[in-house]
Homo-oligomer: A and B are copies of this chain.
Amino acid sequence: MPAQTLEEVVSLCKRRGFIFQSAELYGGLQGVYDYGPLGVELKNNLKSAWWSANIYERDDVVGLDSSILTHKAVFCYSGHEDTFADMMADCYECKKRWRADHIINGKCEACGGEHFTQPRPFNMMFKTNIGPVQDEKSFAYLRPETAQGIFTNFKNVIDSTSQKLPFGIAQIGKAFRNEITPRNFIFRVGEFEQMEIEFFVKPGEDEKWHDTWVATRLEWWKKQGLSHDNLELLEQDKADLAHYAKKTVDIVYRFPHGIEELEGIANRTDFDLGSHTRHQNELNLSSNVKPNNESVSKLAILDQDTKQFIVPYVIEPSAGVDRGVLAILVEAYTEEALGDNKKRVVLKLKPHLSPIKVAIIPLARNNPELVDKAKAIKKQIQALSLGRVAYEDSGNIGKSYRRHDEIGTPICITVDFDTIGLGSNQSLENTVTVRDRDTMEQVRISITDLPDFIRQHILI
């Protein structure tokens, strides 16, 4: 059974080094988090699983890593300058500013005042001044999404690769939004990471591809360990759709704090390329775009059959990395009764996501032969390139097992005196005890057989 409250997960994250509040020692920076030694491995493993599934295992998607600092023209023509905003109102009494939809009962949360300014749009993009002079003109935006860096590189990618429609460009990276009310731990934050694909298709093939991507992405989340019962597809109402979107389906997850979006898959039509292209008028765009006289690139593809330029439609599966991490932690978090009124906390992560794949534990940490043998085995398993392998000598065996249950290590290997031929049973020389996280079963395995055994357990 997954975590029942967010607090259980937050507490585990702090205690075991998954996630900390940023600058905690100075009172914390609201809505900004740091990933600790285990969190960074979990997050990297999730990103790596996404990259493999969407780039390596396909022939029609390539990767990209565009900058965070973004030319202001990009967010002028993308529409973000005009529309990427929350409605805000100021309290007349104490001057505090609130999101209009958060002013409950018409009272200011700070002073109880009942009079507010008319709500006005408040843009959520962060700006920063660049160059030597601080003025109103010399600024860039911190991107609020990675998507635009893909659109602005469309021609560069076409020119430097041999991609033909349909094809996609995928990117993982940080994005920033000035969230007035960040909340629910790493769910809604000011600095976060996205995994986005912009998949370019011929107009007319967009609906089919949209369906395909919804199904593909849902399956992927299940492979990361999210259960069918906690996942749902939610089509956005036509009335709520962004003006450029033809259809959007959200993959939502049943978090302890509510059912919330993990990923949105939008059919964005020709809006994005149409917004950033030169010669908009010659391209027969179906979208309503802002006139663009600044772009120097034609973001269109010559159709070899019709000899006409076409502006591809875009299907965008856009997922939140941090939300994914949170859902995976919630789903994996398990408390199990062990009898005798004892319990254990076990993080039932899919092994390919586990921060530590294998822990190697010497039975005694002060015996040089045991330690050498354990370290040699650690080195051997590490060389399989399956992720982090830990040499663990921080407590007794029982404590080590519990600690690794709680952080989701799928396999613990104990090196004892039998292993080094100094135990009572000579036939056990060069064998180790292998313990399974989920079943807690222990088996004795020859060191020679470890690589195959571990590969079978760890790989997806």
Contact = CB atoms under 8 A, between A and B. Distances in A.
A63 interface: yes
Number of copies: 2
Given A26-B294, A37-B64, A97-B132, 14 more contacts: A17-B157, A17-B160, A23-B71, A24-B297, A25-B276, A25-B295, A26-B74, A26-B296, A29-B140, A34-B66, A68-B174, A68-B191, A99-B132, A126-B128
Contact of A34 (B73, B153, B295, B391): B153
14 contacts: A17-B157, A22-B69, A23-B73, A25-B295, A32-B67, A36-B160, A43-B65, A56-B382, A69-B176, A69-B190, A69-B191, A122-B132, A127-B128, A385-B385
A160 B169 CA distance: 38
A62 interface: yes
Contact of A73 (B26, B67, B68, B99): B26
A16 interface: yes
Interface string A126-165: 1111111100000010100000010011011100111000
Interface centre among A127, A129, A152, A153 (most CB of B within 10 A): A153
Contact of A64 (B40, B65, B190, B391): B40
A388 interface: yes
A200 interface: no
Interface in A84-143: 88, 97-99, 122, 126-133, 140, 142
A430 interface: no
A55 B388 contact: yes
B65 A35 contact: yes
A252 to B, nearest CB: 26
B122 A142 contact: no
A389 interface: yes
Interface residues of A, number: 91
A32 B88 contact: no
A157 B37 contact: yes
A20 interface: yes
A306 interface: no
A187 interface: no
A155 B29 contact: no
A382 B26 contact: no
A172 B153 CA distance: 25
A238 interface: no
Given A15-B160, A36-B160, A191 B29 contact: no
B67 A33 contact: yes
B295 A26 contact: yes
A132 B69 contact: no
A158 to B, nearest CB: 10
Contacts of A160: 14-17, 36-38
A181 to B, nearest CB: 9
